[in-house]
Amino acid sequence: MAPSGFILLDKAAGETSFKALFPLKRVFCTKRVGHAGTLDLRASGLIIAATGRATRLLPYVEAKDKCYTFRLHLGYETDTLEWDGDVVEQGDARAVNRAALEAVLPQFTGDIDQIPPRYCAVKIDGRRASDWAERGKDFEMKPRRIHIESLKVVGEGGVTEGCSGKEFATFNIECVCSKGTYVRALGRDIARALGTCGCVSQIRRHRIGKVSVESAVRGEDLTREHLKSVEQVLDFPVVKLDADQMAVIRKGNWIPWRESVEGAEKQQGRGDDCERLVFAADANGNVLSVCRYEPGRICPKIYLGEDE
């Protein structure tokens, strides 16, 4: 059986997220791999991938907040909302300066509704929206609720080669946001709030949850030594169980637990999604299960250990 754990990949711009997984299959000799949070083809940065039974934990990774930087180009909009797409609108942004941009950014923090780009992986009638867009089909993208934790300008005046329209200003922006946020759509909407049009370039994902791209590896440099344990990526508290307790959890039954679990009580979720999760480890510290902590008991959720 292939080892279970996480791999931190630094995806290059121009590489698909799917192709970025190929080195994992080769290095770990398995097809049981997956990843959390697809990056656009032109985007670069952190992808958290998993092998073996750790693939079951990817939804928890994907739910983490993410940090991106991107360059906003003001003055034109393209069909893909990227800097080199086909121009669909040319505007004028000569009056926009940094102060004006910073004044509108608070409109886009907190819980907001966002309409995804037409070129994206959202399914419309069973097919990706980008497939319909390439075929010229007329369809409607419905807004989705997202959360923007923070937005700030981190630079201005940068030059990106290959712009397909006339830009009047560029700004580099850092964004901390929830799952489901489209940076390209965010750039479009910020430009419209400024009374002009816009697109983006140089999208890079720097962080997912507590994990930074500085800890990631390029696919061509990947070795088995880069495998991370699940507790190195997900920050659930760890509780140690004795052999009898672990046997009960392994069989899918709950165990009584009278002690408080530091960290579990502080876990927060949005809406109704506020499960308090812990890792259950054996006496040697090996994490074997993800469990749900409730006052007075621990209930099994996902078993990660080897089959008996």
pLDDT value of residue 126: 84
Whether 111 maps to a domain, the answer reads yes
pLDDT value of residue 266: 58
Phi then psi dihedrals of residue 180, to 5 deg:
90, 0
Alpha helices (H) in 13-57, listed in sequence order: 22-28
pLDDT in tens, 150-205: 999 999 999 999 999 999 999 999 999 999 999 999 999 999 999 999 999 999 99
Pair 110, 193 in one domain:
yes
Pair 213, 299 in one domain:
no
CATH number at residue 159: 3.30.2350.10
pLDDT value of residue 271: 41
Q: Which residue has the higher pLDDT, 288 or 128?
A: 288
Whether 76 maps to a domain, the answer reads yes
Pair 146, 171 in one domain:
yes
Pair 188, 204 in one domain:
yes
Pair 225, 177 in one domain:
no
Whether 75 maps to a domain, the answer reads yes
The reported pTM is: 0.92
Cβ–Cβ under 8 Å, residues 32 and 52: yes
Pair of tokens at residue 205: 């994902």
Question: What are the strands, taking DSSP E only, across 115-254?
Answer: 123-124, 127-128, 144-156, 169-177, 198-208, 211-212, 238-240
Pair 149, 271 in one domain:
no
Active site residue 40: yes
How many CB atoms sit inside 10 A of residue 121's CB? 12
Pair 139, 193 in one domain:
yes
Whether 45 maps to a domain, the answer reads yes
Q: Number of folded domains in the chain?
A: 3
pLDDT, mean over the chain? 92
Domain with 217, as residue range(s), is 5-64+209-232
Q: Which of 3-12, 122-131, 184-193 has the lowest mean pLDDT?
A: 122-131
Pair of tokens at residue 127: 């097919």
How deeply is 270 buried, as exposed, middle or buried, from its count of CB atoms within 10 A (0-12, 13-18, 19+)? exposed
Pair of tokens at residue 273: 């999604």
pLDDT in tens, 132-164: 888 888 888 899 999 999 999 999 999 999 999
Rg (Cα) of the chain, in Å, rounded? 22
Residue length, the chain?
A: 308
Whether 127 maps to a domain, the answer reads yes
Whether 150 maps to a domain, the answer reads yes
Residue 42's identity, in one-letter code, is R
Pair 186, 224 in one domain:
no
Pair 126, 220 in one domain:
no
Pair 53, 80 in one domain:
no
Cβ–Cβ under 8 Å, residues 222 and 96: no
Cβ–Cβ under 8 Å, residues 32 and 55: yes
Distance CA 303, CA 35 (A): 19
pLDDT value of residue 261: 85
Query: Which has the closest alpha carbon to 143: 113, 183, 109?
Result: 113
pLDDT value of residue 264: 75
What would the mean pLDDT of 258-264 be, rounded to a whole number? 82
Confidence band (pLDDT; 50, 70, 90) for 270? very low
What would the mean pLDDT of 62-75 be, rounded to a whole number? 97
Confidence band (pLDDT; 50, 70, 90) for 272? very low
From 10, 40, 86, 244, active-site residue = 40
Query: Which has the closest alpha carbon to 76: 220, 257, 199?
Result: 199
Whether 308 maps to a domain, the answer reads no
What would the mean pLDDT of 203-222 be, rounded to a whole number? 96
Percentage of the residues of the chain whose pLDDT score is greater than 70: 95
Pair of tokens at residue 65: 């907040």
Distance CA 208, CA 190 (A): 23
CATH number at residue 265: 2.30.130.10
Phi then psi dihedrals of residue 238, to 5 deg:
-110, 130
pLDDT value of residue 274: 61
Pair 84, 117 in one domain:
yes
Query: Which has the closest alpha carbon to 227: 106, 48, 61, 72?
Result: 48
pLDDT value of residue 268: 47
Confidence band (pLDDT; 50, 70, 90) for 308? low
